[in-house]
Structure 1
Amino acid sequence: MRQTRRQFIQQSLLAFPAIGTLASCGGGGGASAASVPNGTNSGNVSTGLQAYGKSLVPYSPLAKQPKLVPFRDPDFGTRMIRLTDAKADWNSGWAVPAYPTTQAWNTDESLLILYVSGRLSSTGVEGGFALLDGKTYAFIQFLAINPADIEQFYWSTTDPQTLFYVNNSQSTGSQVNQLVKATITVAARTNGSISAVSMSTTVLHDFASDFKPGGALASAVSGAGTITKVSGGEDPFAMSEDNDLIGLGADLNKTSGGVEEFAAFSYRISTGAIGLAFPAVGSVPQALPSGSGTYFYQSTNGVQVLDALSNQVLRTLPFDGQEHSDMLRNAAGDDIVAGAQYGPPSGGATGTLIWVNLSKGGAVHTLIGPANGDPYPPAGTLVSGRAYKASGWVAVGITGCPSGSTGNCQGPTPTVSGTPKTYLDQEVLIANVDSGAIYRVAHHRSAGYYNNATTNNYWAQPNVTISPSGTRILVPSDWGCANPSAPVIDPSAIIDTYVIELPGYTG
């Protein structure tokens, strides 16, 4: 069953008060585009984990737990904590990680960002970036940032105080469209937790000036009318790991098949270079983790690696980029794309976790898939490769059948005979593209993204987000599988964020 990537969700956050002021337009720093990965492939990621192989694991009942009270997954034994109570805290419908390709934690994991929305009444929060203490998980405050979309903020991989985003706020009726560097400073601590921060911002580049006659993007947007937004496109990935290259697109105010059209380009902060813009539908070129080029897909026929400036096609690979996937680097520093593949192009492979080397090309590799004796990939599979300090590790979250792998999910109401058990369905796992190691670590118990439900809840999908060290994983859940023998498929269920702390986490 094909599961396409996220749909574009525009949010206006203009009601939030400013925390800092925009400084004058400044220059950018940045390391070389081909810098080595800062990952260490540290062994603590898998420390203490049990390899269950392909065996069926019991799926035991577990009531929704109180906020910030640690508990153990009854089947995998992993420590988990419910971080939010969206209804009680903010009178909102969901508090979730933004997306698996977005790093929720800053580089030293002292801060993390969740997205809060779906107000339940006029007093609820609708569109807020909640900043939490990354260690104690205490809520600090909402950040006054206006990124181009909810997942388009980018923590620095080296400086825990730095956050990047393209400002989506408005001035005199037009989008600002400035690449901004925000500096977030701890202002107060209470009972051991960060309780307040201050934020100042600096403009690194003003893209609005590039649309004017003679500007670097003027010809690319000619005849498009007023340019409303510069963004990372409909399916954004992270910036390069040296925080220097970013893939962007200028919205051309028209659609193709209901999907936004962009003038797509890349921008390198250290040199101020704007790559040659070209027309694209939905997706735009995304920075490779190494910063050596960009990754681009436009159809299910394959993905391309491009030169960041000229867009010359360096290689084409048989991977369907329209499925949920993420990029990372392996132990050798090569750029990798990994994700689920349901109907891959010729030369590709079907599976729950497939990867291919973007730097060198070569064979498509199956970690979990029919070629290795695994079932056809369950619907609702998402991948996060944001463990940039633990090279090669990815996290995977799977919806599949809410009543477990032994359940019946042919209709809108999942059923099961006997004791529910799972292999892949409803599970969170981690895997390493270098060693092939796979560890199943928890049940996320979210039911609302069930593929055969009458109404799916997008926000209930298992948007796993792995931490930079690879030792923690965020996952949203409506906890509809408190009793897997009778899962509740409720599109209006409140969705909160949970953290899975692996045994190797020492925080």
Structure 2
Amino acid sequence: MFAACGGGSDGDAVTVDPEPTLACGASETSTATLADQDNALVPALAKPARGIPFTEPTYGTSMVRLTDHAADGLSGFARQDYSRRQAFNANNTRVLIYSISGHWHLYDANTQQFVKTLSGPAADAEIQWHPTNPDLLYYMPTNGLGMQVQELTVSTGATRVIGDLSARLRARWPTANAAWTKSEGSPSADGRYWCLMVDDGSWGSVGIVTWDRDTDTVLGYLSTNGDRPDHVSMSPSGSYCVVSGDSARGTVAYSRDFSTVRKLLSKSEHSDIALDANGDDVFVSIDYRSSGGSLFMTHIPSCKRTELFSTYVDQTATALHISGKAYAKPGWVLVSTYADYYAPNPDLDTRRWLHRKVMAVQLAANPTIRHLAHHRSYVGEDTYWAEPQASVNRDFTRVVFNSDWGNDTAPTDPLDIDTYMISLPAW
């Protein structure tokens, strides 16, 4: 399975292969009070024009259509990237938007106007906004090829390499060819610590590393011996490298030097890593193998698991994404649900309180749930791009999600997808 070799600083050796010292288990159960289980119908609402604010008819939140891909000449769609990525820059003035051509674009979050197409990042460049400077972002060569981390000054287009790991990784693993998170990871909340998986030229896994941006040093090396993770990510505090996979090890949290490890889940599911109300790292995920298909959180330092609520309601189930990027509003995550179905008859529409929504969920037993919007996106077979994949900004005052505005009707053009924004008052 996993064998550790390296840690502490560049070139140091780890002498043991850590096995999970803690298997995190459930110790606190939630019932999610009925007051939060709003099952309001989804009223019909014509597709709004871009830039004209409107009130979400069911929950009263302030919304606006952020993009108009057809008017702006963007190929296929204009959608925000993913729930586990921060879409907003540090001062909430710019939003990252992706089009099917592989180009990345900037929109003004206040005027909803197209700003520019970025020069440099292309396709899966794993773009990460700088946590405090709104004019800087980090990116990697497509799919991590080249094994570099680059910094882009948005206003000027100037790019510089802040970390070239290629020589160090090839010295450790001669076949190393790419270093990335495989589309779903983030650095620590302050942008300093990064967890990256390393692939060879055939996309076989050779290892995992943690890297310190400030000192440009590799803090730990972990050989995977071909056991490829689904994705990796650093925890917000920078204390843990979380490796998500479907092998016997499942999803685990390693210390930065890979000397200790604890098991979070037996599989890789949709998840994110957030901060709880005390500012501690928590792994938030769905567990389809539990009796209730629970949304849960695990406090990584203590390994304590808390069930938030069941997603198996009256023989229904749903897919969902989680965004834990509100680091300045610890104790909350954003959840967007889609592709719900009724187990005895998948063709029968039996929507329940949590389905087809964007909602804020408190990270606590018996959590408060704030319903923000119905996303109105039709997500059927082969409509991945229409998944809402909602993402929250740092202080939970703005949310973006993707929608074809299908109102549960299959669109004539499955790529006719734009980005919508919810504005919330400072809580």
Amino acid at match of 1:112: V
Match of 1:392 in 2: 331
Tell me the alpha carbon deviations over residues 181-224 of structure 1, each in whole angstroms, 9 at most, x when there is no partner.
Answer: 2223xxxxxxxxxxxx323222112122225xxxxx4232x3x3
Match of 1:410 in 2: 346
Match of 2:368 in 1: 437
Amino acid at match of 1:326: D
Q: Is the 8 A contact 1:369 1:377 kept in 2?
A: no
Amino acid at match of 1:367: L
Amino acid at match of 2:113: A
1:266 positional shift = 1.5
Alignment of 1:296-307 (within 5 A): 296-299=243-246, 302-307=250-255
Match of 2:300 in 1: 358
Residues 1:55 and 1:91: Cα distance change in structure 2 (over 3 Å): closer
Q: Is the 8 A contact 1:369 1:376 kept in 2?
A: no
- Residue aligned with 1:276, SS: strand
Q: Is the 8 A contact 2:192 2:212 kept in 1?
A: yes
Residues 1:242 and 1:129: Cα distance change in structure 2 (over 3 Å): same
> Distance in 2 between the 1:198 and 1:116 partners?
22
1:443 positional shift = 0.4
Tell me the alpha carbon deviations over residues 417-463 of structure 1, each in whole angstroms, 9 at most, x when there is no partner.
Answer: xxxx751111111011047211111100111x23xxxx321111121
The unaligned stretches of length 5 or more in structure 2 are 1-33
Q: Is the 8 A contact 2:104 2:121 kept in 1?
A: no
> Distance in 2 between the 1:401 and 1:284 partners?
25
Tell me how large the CA RMSD over aligned residues is: 2.8
Correspondence 1:281 to 2:228? yes
1:333 positional shift = 1.8
Match of 2:132 in 1: 158
From 174, 178, 187, the counterpart of 1:229: 178
Correspondence 1:71 to 2:54? yes
Tell me the alpha carbon deviations over residues 115-158 of structure 1, each in whole angstroms, 9 at most, x when there is no partner.
Answer: 111xxxxxxxx1111111132222100111326725x1111222
Alignment of 1:41-440 (within 5 A): 53-117=36-100, 126-146=101-121, 149-150=124-125, 152-168=126-142, 175-184=145-154, 197-211=155-169, 217-220=170-173, 222=174, 224=175, 227-233=176-182, 235-254=183-202, 260-274=204-218, 275-279=220-224, 280-283=227-230, 285-299=232-246, 302-309=250-257, 311-317=258-264, 319-320=265-266, 322-344=268-290, 350-351=292-293, 353-362=295-304, 364-369=305-310, 374-375=313-314, 378-401=317-340, 410-411=346-347, 422-434=352-364, 436-440=367-371
> Distance in 1 between the 2:316 and 2:205 partners?
31
TM-score (norm 2): 0.83
Q: Is the 8 A contact 2:404 2:414 kept in 1?
A: no
Amino acid at match of 2:287: Q
Amino acid at match of 2:404: D
- Residue aligned with 1:323, SS: coil
Q: Is the 8 A contact 1:399 1:426 kept in 2?
A: yes
Residues 1:229 and 1:491: Cα distance change in structure 2 (over 3 Å): farther
Amino acid at match of 1:329: L
Runs of 4+ in 1 over 4 A off after TM superposition: 373-377
Amino acid at match of 1:100: S
Tell me the alpha carbon deviations over residues 205-254 of structure 1, each in whole angstroms, 9 at most, x when there is no partner.
Answer: 2122225xxxxx4232x3x3xx5432222x52210012111111232123
Amino acid at match of 1:396: V
Q: Is the 8 A contact 2:313 2:352 kept in 1?
A: no
The unaligned stretches of length 5 or more in structure 1 are 1-50, 118-125, 185-196, 212-216
Amino acid at match of 2:419: T
Residues 1:71 and 1:307: Cα distance change in structure 2 (over 3 Å): same
> Distance in 1 between the 2:415 and 2:260 partners?
45
Tell me the alpha carbon deviations over residues 155-190 of structure 1, each in whole angstroms, 9 at most, x when there is no partner.
Answer: 1222222211223499xxxx5432112223xxxxxx
Q: Is the 8 A contact 2:316 2:340 kept in 1?
A: no
> Distance in 2 between the 1:397 and 1:377 partners?
16
What is the number of equivalent residue pairs in this alignment?
Answer: 389
